[in-house]
Amino acid sequence: MSESPPTTPACYRHPSRETYVRCTRCERPICPDCMREASVGHQCPECVAEGRRTSRPVRTAFGGGAAGRLGYVTRALIGLNLALMVLSIISARGGDAVAGAGFGGLLGGSTPLTEWGSVLGLWAPLGPFGPQEGIAAGEYYRLVTAMFLHYGILHVAMNMWALWVLGRSLEATLGPLRFLALYLVAGVGGNVAAYLFSNPAAATAGASTAIFGLFAALFVIMRRLGRDTSTVIPILVVNLVFTFAVPGISIAGHLGGMVTGAAMALVLAYAPRARRSLVQLGGGVVIGLVLVGLTLMRTAALLA
């Protein structure tokens, strides 16, 4: 009795294709179109998908996603600021928005866009009995929009350079979502401080509130990681001196952003590992509620 010759294995997903390669995980035969490179040999598409579902995603020291190493949020924030700078120039048809009208050309003149979105407490352009403008008049969006608007090319250029330097490092350490939360909380916190302590008829804008928050956060996080902070302190001191020395800069906005950024960084850096995400979220909510309360108190005082 003669034996039948052995048959060549066929790909389990493409039965018409013969192959001698097997998936290193499930050992089913796979053709070249189904091969997926693995640490050892090749795997089939189903085993690769299953591995992705069961593998634990890589996290940073503070619970963030590893995608922060690519700096997508930092790039997006810079792009948004630059796009709004272009719109600001267009709204003013050139003029002071490009050349700058403040100290040494550092701070540009206002434009229709900055007048719409800057931090403004309360102002009645047509007199005490006319319509009012500002945050106290219900324009609370200004507490957010102001951190994306700038007075002049040099103003936005300096802030975006600082954001590029600080943002990539912090985003890689914290992860995209936590870094974005830090940036927004610091920016809004600085704007709330400007609303609280500045002349209600004076308009302020710029990403500096968030940038100062990033400076403070970098110091806090480096301390938490046990790294040397001797290079951060001089830069922070220089920026503080610059804040007090240059006319037209919102001292309250810069200091408020620094304090709020430091508070948010403390929440992110020192949250206990067991309930890290919950504590970080709760801490951010508490800071947000404090800012809301301070805003409402200031509004009540201005309208009294």
Shared domain for 191 and 250, answered yes or no, is yes
Helices marked H in the chain — which ranges? 45-54, 72-92, 96-99, 112-117, 142-145, 153-174, 176-197, 208-224, 232-245, 251-270, 276-303
Residue 59 inside a domain? The answer is: no
pLDDT digits (tens, 9 = 90+) for 12-38: 999 988 888 888 888 899 998 998 888
Q: Please tell me the total count of domains within the chain.
A: 2
The CATH number linked to 174 is 1.20.1540.10
212 and 297 together in one domain: yes
For the segment 222-261, what is each residue's pLDDT rounded down to a tens digit? 999 888 878 788 888 888 887 887 777 889 999 999 999 9
> Which structural domain range is residue 190 located in?
66-303
Catalytic positions, please? 208, 254
Look up residue 85 and give its two tokens.
């700078």
Residues 183 and 89 in one domain: yes
| Residues 96 and 40 both lie in one domain | no
**C-alpha distance from residue 277 to each of 172, 176, 219 (Å):** 17, 14, 21
Express each pLDDT in 133-191 by its tens digit: 999 999 999 999 999 999 989 899 999 999 999 999 999 999 999 999 999 999 999 99
User: Do both 73 and 200 map to the same domain?
Assistant: yes
Which of 114, 119, 118 shows the shortest CA–CA distance to 90? 114
Q: Do 102 and 234 have their domain in common?
A: yes
Reported pTM: 0.79
Instruction: Indicate whether 36 and 136 sit together in one domain.
Output: no
Looking at residue 1, its pLDDT comes to 47
